[in-house]
Amino acid sequence: MKRLLYVLATALLSFGLLTACSSDKSSNNGTNDLSKSNQEENEKANRTDKAKGDTSSDDFDDQPDLKLGDTAQIEDTLGKYEVTMESIKQVPDINGEGPQLEKLFIADITVKNIGDTTIEAKDVMDNFMFADEKETSGFPDEAKFFGMEEIKGELQPGKTITGKAVFDSYGNDTYYIFIDVGLVASKAVKNQVIWTISEDEITS
């Protein structure tokens, strides 16, 4: 009789242990499944947020073959705008100050905001370089150095400003105005534009 009771007690204990283990396994599987589901939802949300945060549109291609009088369309991290090189002339000096290099040029330039945000015209002008050779870093607008008013001021969407830029350069029979190559390489400006200007087009 005692042996029978011992066998029944052992059987009941084994059954209880098996039930508990099965329950724990089921519970762990449920927790793991929930954790995996939450992780997948979080990863999906992160991908969506990243896509929303990428506002790069790259609307404009490079424009390397512009001539005097042509209008370029440019996009940078601050906005979108058009720039027109209206005309350019060579002068011997400005306010009694001669060139630091070889020749002085004054360019008439128009900037138009074609984006949806306000831009600063001076920031646009700071992007440009002038050079007598195509594969060089070039020289910036020196209007302030020569005592001339810079092209500056806030431009609301749709607004335009026209002014003068001053370039001090070495002499050649062809000149180039372009976006600073470092800004294009770093994607601060999203497309390159280049005006090629022959000496015959420059007035004096």
- Chain centroid offset of residue 49 CA: 19
- Cα angle 39-40-41, degrees, rounded to a multiple of 5: 90
Residue 74 CB coordination number (10 Å): 23
Give the model's pLDDT for residue 3.
39
Q: What's the pTM value of the predicted model, to 2 decimals?
A: 0.72
Q: Does the pLDDT value for residue 24 go beyond 70?
A: no
Residue 148, burial from CB neighbour count under 10 angstroms (0-12, 13-18, 19+): middle
pLDDT of residue 135: 78
Any idea where the domains of the chain sit in the sequence?
A: 63-201
Q: Which two tokens mark 162?
A: 């026209």
Contact (CB, 8 A) for 185 and 122: no
Task: Indicate whether 49 pLDDT > 80.
Answer: no
pLDDT at 57: 59
pLDDT digits (tens, 9 = 90+) for 153-202: 999 999 999 999 999 999 999 999 999 999 999 999 999 999 999 999 99
Can you tell me the distance from the alpha carbon of 148 to that of 79, in angstroms, rounded to the nearest whole number?
26
Give yes or no for residue 36 having a pLDDT over 90. Answer: no
Tell me whether strands 193-198 and 63-66 are parallel, antiparallel or unpaired. Answer: parallel
Digit-coded pLDDT (tens) for 79-113: 999 999 999 999 999 999 999 999 999 999 999 99
Domain 63-201 bears CATH identifier 2.60.40.1240: yes
- 186: helix, strand or coil: coil
